[in-house]
Amino acid sequence: MMKEKSHSQSSSSTSWIVLNSKGHCSIVDMDKHRIMNLAQIHYRDFRILDPLLSYPSAILGREKAILLNLEHIKAIITSEEVFLRDPRDENVVPVVEELKRRLARHVDYSTLQFQALEVALEAICSYLAARTTELEMVTYLSLEKLTNKISSLNLDCVRKLKCTTSTLTAKVHKVRDELERLLDDDQDMADLCLSRKLLSPVSISGAANKASISPTSGSKISSLSTIHGEENDVKELEMLLEAYFVQIDRTLEKLINMKEYIDGTEDYINIQIDSRRNKLIKWELVLSSGNLCLAIFALMTNDIFGLSFPYNWNKNHGFMFKWVIIVTAMCTASLFFTIIAYARKKGLL
């Protein structure tokens, strides 16, 4: 029984890479309860980082942590450490290396938070831009093939690319909406500044009061610099989010233009297919009219010369055979041209 319990606990653990403010990192296996205790987050917040639940992209600020769910980048940023999930993932390794490089020198808590957030945003923007560029090249090549030759294979390829484009557009749109939400809400942006929360509201108000009643100018400057430092953190974060918002907005614009180009090409192909279908219908009408007239011609000649009744004109019928053929052919030809003329008049041909 104890073996089964220990096995279930070990199976629920996940690999995390932990980086401190000096860039030192280590890969550890931790279960969700331990990581929640270290980051001091709730279970509903931890569910956002679960890849099996397919939560949309999100950047959430909590009391003592920042939660990042940006496609393959799932991280928890605290005031002292950064926790990255699935460190052996090929898309996560470059993020870890870049973050280690930037945190190689000693930095304060504010820089740790901003560096981790900047590296994550830079990675997801670069990833989505690269995917968009790659998809753009393949899409334009496939559309060119489809325009030159309309076939079922080319049509299926374009439909798959259109589905992929829609999926990627939704992902980019979600990241853009998340950045826009943070930029539009000052409180949400302030929640991402963990350094502000290291000072309690009492100490902040006390520092402000002390600055107003202190007889020494040194304490005034020290207290006011703390408050202004927090405002600078918010401004720095706002500038950071705006920079990557512009990048992700450009990527989204490229995807929208590509989707419109696909729709325009599909409309053009549908027009070409309808035109060919109309030509086939016209030929079908002509051939059906011809078959009808030939059937009438065959019916008339067979019925007339197939009679075995003893009529006088039936004897020595060579002369009659010629006139029957001529009259029947003229009648059926007149019927055929009448049908064609009527179809032209009605706009069917």
DSSP 3-state of 178: helix
Assess if residue 121 is contained within a domain.
no
Assess if residue 257 is contained within a domain.
no
Whether the model pTM is above 0.85: no
Higher pLDDT, 179 or 21: 179
Please tell me the total count of domains within the chain. Answer: 2
Q: Please say which residue of 38, 64, 90 terminates a domain.
A: 90
DSSP 3-state of 21: coil
Q: Per-residue pLDDT tens for 121-155?
A: 999 999 999 999 999 999 999 999 988 888 889 88
Q: Please say which residue of 90, 105, 120 terminates a domain.
A: 90
Asked if the model's pLDDT at residue 235 lies above 70, the reply is: yes
pLDDT at position 23: 78
pLDDT at position 6: 41
Assess if residue 249 is contained within a domain.
no
What's 79's domain CATH number? 2.40.128.330
Exposure class string for 134-157: b at 16+ Cβ within 10 A, else e: ebbeebeebbeebeeeeeeebeeb
Higher pLDDT, 50 or 239: 239
Confidence class for position 242, pLDDT limits 50, 70, 90: very high
State the DSSP code for 133: H
Among 214-218, 257-261, 313-317, name the most confident range.
Answer: 257-261
Assess if residue 104 is contained within a domain.
no
Average pLDDT on 246-274 reads 91
- Separation between Cα atoms, residue 143 and residue 158, nearest integer Å: 7
pLDDT at position 319: 62
DSSP 3-state of 101: helix
Assess if residue 283 is contained within a domain.
yes
Higher pLDDT, 304 or 345: 345
Assess if residue 190 is contained within a domain.
no
Assess if residue 261 is contained within a domain.
no
pLDDT at position 108: 57
Domain of residue 27, residue span: 10-90
Residue type, 238: E
Assess if residue 264 is contained within a domain.
no
**Residue 193: exposure state from Cβ atoms within 10 A (0-12, 13-18, ≥19):** buried
Asked if the model's pLDDT at residue 269 lies above 70, the reply is: yes
Q: Please say which residue of 41, 66, 90 terminates a domain.
A: 90
